[in-house]
Structure 1
Amino acid sequence: MVIMVGLNIAQSKKREKRDGRENLLGSGDETKHRSRNLKEIVSKYRKSKDPSSLAMSAKNKLVQRQEKLDKLSNQAEELEGTSEDYASMANELLKKMEKQKWWQIR
């Protein structure tokens, strides 16, 4: 009887894990590769043959990339400043606690 209960618990855990994966990723049928013909691939990835539109597209992508890099740079500077403030506070606290005895800490 104990063995049967243990098997049922193990099976239910496997089922829960599988159901959770399906909820997260969808059913296995949706993730399978679908064969496409040449026309579908060409229509999806076809680029305009006009050099000016290609140059404009590249310029737009470059501007977007620069904006993202600027945003990351600003975030990094902010994080650096915050970490320096935290480090100085930690050092002040350490100096303050070094002067106190263990029984005086409140």
Structure 2
Amino acid sequence: MGLAASTEVVVAYRDGLHARPATLLAKTAAAFSSTITIENLTQGSKPVNAKSPLTVLSIGIQRHDRLRIAAEGADEQEAVETIARLIASNFGEAEEAEQQEQVSNE
């Protein structure tokens, strides 16, 4: 039986996934009841539990790597979409940089 919802994203974050973004990804995943996995297609990793920062770090996600996020459960579609948006937003860093720029321009 396959996972019910999935999507693929490419990591644009310049530093890849180090401790801070991996922890943020895992905390975001933990907010959902669905089983959520992440797989590094570029590195050929097996799917790992997206709710664990250590397992997320273990698949060596670098900039430009293609990832598959998959979920199965009651909130699977929302979980996949939320995590994909988090990755696409560079883990909120773009928003932080924008806010800092606005403050410095005032």
Higher normalized contact order (CA 8 Å, seq sep 6+, divided by chain length): 2
* Bigger Rg, structure 1 or 2: 1
TM-score, length of structure 2 as denominator length: 0.25
From the two aligned structures, give the one with the greater strand fraction. 2
TM-score, length of structure 1 as denominator length: 0.25
From the two aligned structures, give the one with the greater helix fraction. 1
